[in-house]
Amino acid sequence: MNLEEITFKVSEIARSAGSFIRNESLNFSSSKIEYKGLNDLVSYVDKEAEKRIVEGLKSLLPEAGFITEEKTLNIQGEDYNWIVDPLDGTTNFIHGLPAYSVSIALEYQGALVSGVVYEINRDECFYAWKDGGAWLNGTKIKVSENVDLSQSLLATGFPYYKFDLLEKYINVFRDLTQVCHGLRRVGSAAVDLAYVACGRYDGYFEYNLNSYDMAAGIVLVNEAGGQTFNFSGGTEYFNSREIVATNKKITDELLSVIQKYF
């Protein structure tokens, strides 16, 4: 399998879906919002974008299965599985905030081997494949060189449901706020991970995520020279539903703060 070629084709599919989403944003009405759960929003745009993505991916790798957020198609593949979030940052999209993305990853026998994150509003397509490096619109990217947490800009995601860990999260937030340049909350986990990969952030952490929120971004960070873990320092991201991504140089400092409380 030529992962580079497949990744380029996936990038085209992501861009096409992003174009659809961008056009729909011009006339989107709040009357078209649906609720999947507490503060868990969806619209016809998410569902239609996912259908388009799935159809495009089927032609690339007919034997592959699908893990999709909107469940337009969920079928387990024997070796290959696509992990798809058609619109990561739906709440931003619905409220007209310009930070949302298409996220597509390919998994082979349990290992992530390709990832694409297309940030729609800035027309930035981040992509990476196993042992091929990470790229942004044709230019190779890498994580930051910052070695000190006190000089770092971090990203996170605020809990919006399942608040049983909220106090622990607030403690981590409090401690980090006092020792770094600041924490940002963009509202799209895929974008946060892409920004770590290209050096805009030095690190990122969040919990209560699903595989489709972070799969593609994990590939980006790792191929850009960074590191990804769950809060325990392992790589069972999907089971624990946690992610810590760093430029590798601040890993120990960032994990030590998180592990004080989690």
Cβ atoms of 188 and 100 closer than 8 Å = yes
57 assigned ligand-binding residue: no
The three-state (H, E, C) secondary structure of 45-106, written as one string: HHHHHHHHHHHHHHHHCCCCEEEECCCCCCECCCCEEEEEEEEECHHHHHHCCCCCEEEEEE
The answer to the question of whether 107 is labelled as a binding residue is no
Residues 165, 22: Cα–Cα separation, whole Å: 35
Please give the full DSSP string across 187-224, using - where no structure is assigned.
S-HHHHHHHHHTTS-SEEEEES--HHHHHHHHHHHHHT
What does the angle CA 9 – CA 123 – CA 83 come to, to the nearest 5 degrees?
45
From residue 221, alpha-carbon distances to 53, 134, 249 in Å are: 23, 8, 13
Joined tokens for residue 171: 């403690």
Residue 209 is assigned to a ligand binding site = no
123: annotated binding-site residue? no
Burial of 5 (0-12, 13-18, 19+ CB in 10 A): exposed
Nearest-angstrom CA–CA distance, 139 and 6: 18
Give binding residues as ranges. 69, 85, 87-88, 213
Give binding residues for Mg(2+) as ranges. 69, 85, 87-88, 213
